[in-house]
Every structure is written in C-alpha cells, then in structure tokens.
Amino acid sequence: MTSRVRKPSAAIAQDVPQIQPAPGGQRREYWIQAETVKWQITPLRKDEWHNHPLSSRNTYTAYIYRHMTPGFAAPIGQPNIPGPTLYAEVGDVIVAHFRNADTKLRQAVTMHPHGVRYNPEYDGAYMGKYTRAGGFVAPGEEFTYFWECIPGAVGAWPYHDHGPNHTLNTSRGLFGAIVVSERGAKVPDVSYTLMLHQLTPPITGLNRAFQCINGRAFAGNTPTLKAKVGQDVALHVFGMDSNFHDFHMHGHRWRDTGGAPTDTTTVGPSETMTARFTEDNPGRWLYHCHVFSHQDEGMTGWYDVEA
C-alpha cells in the first residue's frame, strides 16, 4: 500500500512557463497542501435515517488536499474530503500552488485536472522516465500548476493525485473539484460538491466497507444540504471510485443533458453531473445512491429545505 518510486531524472529540473489568462480573464490562485490526517468516517457513530448505532471502529489515515492561505502560511478551515473546490470562469487561468506536506506515508503525489487545458508540464501525471516536474512532487517539495479555462472547460470536473501510487492515494481521499462557468454567468445561490466513493478494508484497515459521500457514511454523518424556497440550487455530483452510482434526491427533479426531466442520474468513474433547479419544495428530504447495496452501506444523506 505504500509503494515508493525513485524520482525520475527528467523531473528534477525543467523550465516551466507561466500561462497567462485570456483578455478579460483572471489568475485564480489557490494554495493547496497534500497531507495525511486521521479521518472519522462516521463521527456520530450512528445512522440517523434508521436510528441505529454504528461500530466505533471508523477511523483511518486519509490523504487529503488542504486549502491554505497564500504562501502556505496557515490552513483555511478544517481538514476535509474532498479538497477545496476551485472556481473559475472562461478565460481565466487556475494557478494551483501545490505542496506535498506528507510526513507519514512518504508518497510522491501530484494534482491532475480534468476538463481544463494544460501543456505536458502541468499534466500532474507520473510517466516513468518521461515524467515532467509536476508529475512527481516528493514530500517537502512544491510545484505550481497552470490550467487554462477555455470555452470547452465549462462544467464541473475532478482533480486528483496521479503520482506513482495514484490509485491508492486517490482512494485514500486525495481528490477535489474544479467548477468552470461561462464568463459573467449567474452564480447559484446554493452550490454543493458531492463525491460518491467507497472506503474499503485494504484502504482503511477497518473490518468493513463504507460507501461514502465526501468521506463520510450514513445520514447525519454525510453532508446535510440546506437551501430555501426560491433559491437557485446547483449540486455537482462526481463518481470518485471504480463503481457506477445513481444519484437520487427525493421530491425534486432536474434536467438531464438531453433536456428531459429526471430525479436519478448515473455517474461512473470520474464522471460528473450537475443537478440545477429552483427550489420549490420545503421539508426534509433524503438523497442517496439508488444502487441499493451502496445505499445500505452508507451512501445516503439529508437535504433540508426551509420555506
């Protein structure tokens, strides 16, 4: 589980250009640190939906992207799965200052984006002897990625580790989201990023599997979404493991990519869907994966709508 790969010589020293925004665009700068943390999958130790207790063995060593202040001076908020959502508009350049602060697993890790445009320097992928500098960021090292938000980048996309041990480290929690909007587009009143993924015994060392939303399992532990009637709501839902998941929300509908109304949408590995609607139905609602085995192993949550 802790494979160590020697840094390829091609990744040691390279002249990496800084990419500039398109006319009218901005540099959207983020400071992001990879670190290990002790993570509780079910901090309430119960399932609020069925009102039954859960095992106290719920903690593992997670690998996460931590949002930091400029210069990596201090953390912003608490450790979280997923990492910070990176927002930008068409014409912008996302500048992701990345530091590997791992002191436990001693893994070279990276940031690899989907959806945006980048050159090979900023791919963030380990490629053996062809690895560029951004494809192998060893513990204690830093690298800055430049990703262009072209018109074809509009949408919600994942980013994740693509270093030499990326399958395990992504499974440990090393992933996040990028949301690119049309320039000047209306910003939703309420926006959530929901990552659907599993945590299994080979990853956690625990004696059971958990089907998770944002690193948590079972209603009350997973994110409780909140909105008010009349608000413009956007839910960005990602498949972040090797399974297919069906995102379903009770009492609500949205439009699929063909424009037809739906209340259940499938996401496969690294696929994304956005449910966007004007809230008109107050109450407490369930949202969950409609693959019943995933639902019953924890992929459920609450959506509270205030009148």
Q: Which residues contact 213 (CB under 8 A, 6 or more apart)?
A: 194, 195, 196, 222, 223, 299, 300, 301
pLDDT at position 1: 47
Total-model pTM = 0.93
- Average pLDDT of the chain, as a whole number: 94
Q: How confident is the model at residue 12 (pLDDT cuts 50, 70, 90)?
A: very low
Query: HSE on the CB side for 137, CA within 13 Å?
Result: 29
Q: What is the pLDDT of residues 176-235, one digit of tens each?
A: 999 999 999 999 999 999 999 999 999 999 999 999 999 999 999 999 999 999 999 999
> Is the domain of 124 the same as that of 32?
yes
Would residue 205 count as lying in a domain? yes
What does the alpha-carbon distance between residue 162 and residue 124 come to, in Å, rounded to a whole number? 6
Pair 102, 195 in one domain: no
Mean pLDDT value across residues 6-27: 72
Backbone angles phi, psi at 305, to 5 degrees: -115, 120
Residues 122, 211 within the same domain: no
82 within some domain: yes
128 lies in the same domain as 207: no
- pLDDT tens-digit map of 116-135: 999 999 999 999 999 998 99
- CATH code for the domain in which residue 227 is found: 2.60.40.420
Confidence (pLDDT) at 56:
81
pLDDT tier for residue 55 given thresholds of 50, 70 and 90: confident
Are 63 and 168 in a shared domain?
A: yes
Does a structural domain hold residue 6?
no
Q: Is residue 63 part of a domain?
A: yes
Q: How many domains does the chain contain in total?
A: 2
Residue 169: strand, helix, or coil: helix
Shared domain for 175 and 282, answered yes or no, is no
Q: At residue 16, does pLDDT exceed 90?
A: no
pLDDT band at 104 (very low <50, low <70, confident <90, very high): confident
pLDDT score at 105:
87
Domain assignment of residue 2, yes or no: no
Domain end position, chosen among 170, 185, 200: 185
Report pLDDT digits (tens) over 18-35.
889 999 999 999 999 999
Q: Which domain holds residue 231?
A: 186-307
DSSP count for the chain of H helices, then E strands:
3, 21
Tell me what the mean pLDDT of segment 95-108 comes to.
93
Q: Do residues 102 and 205 share a domain?
A: no
Same domain, 120 and 160: yes
Among 12-26, 142-156, 203-217, 231-245, name the one with the lowest average pLDDT.
Answer: 12-26
CA distances from 140 to 65, 68, 99, 194, 225 (A): 14, 15, 7, 30, 36
The answer to whether residue 8 scores a pLDDT higher than 80 is no
At 269, list the tokens: 């590995």
pLDDT attached to residue 13? 42
Burial of residue 251 (number of CB atoms within 10 Å: 0-12, 13-18, 19+): middle
Average pLDDT, stretch 147-163?
A: 97
One domain for residues 164 and 268: no
Query: H/E element holding 197?
Result: strand 190-199
Q: In terms of domains, do 268 and 221 share one?
A: yes
**246 Cβ contact list (under 8 Å, min separation 6):** 264, 265, 266, 289, 290, 291
Give yes or no: residues 113 and 203 share one domain: no
